[in-house]
Amino acid sequence: MESQAGLIAIAAGLAIGLGAFGAAGGQGRAAAAAFEGIARNPSSKDDVFTPFLLGLAFMEFQAILSFIIAIMLVGKF
């Protein structure tokens, strides 16, 4: 039973780590692309802003979901 608890803890750590890494990387790339697009064409600011925020919200949801999965895994032991 103790080895299962250790494996579950490792799985929870991987879930939160990969979720945070993926969300942070995606947010950084999205911000860079949005700012580059606005810098090239400043009049496109209004057209870029809403999809940019929507994409950030989806990426943040990914990080929150990985946190929830980690909590659920830890709750099993």
Would you list the DSSP string of 26-50? HHHHHHHHHHHHHHH-GGGHHHHHH
d(CA 46, CA 43): 7
Q: What is the pLDDT of residues 12-67, one digit of tens each?
A: 888 888 888 988 999 999 999 999 999 999 999 989 999 999 999 999 998 899 88
Model confidence, pTM: 0.75
User: How sure is the predictor about 3, in pLDDT bands with cuts at 50, 70 and 90?
Assistant: confident
d(CA 48, CA 19): 25
Domains of the chain: 2-72 (1.20.20.10)
User: How sure is the predictor about 77, in pLDDT bands with cuts at 50, 70 and 90?
Assistant: low
CB atoms within 10 A of CB 41: 11
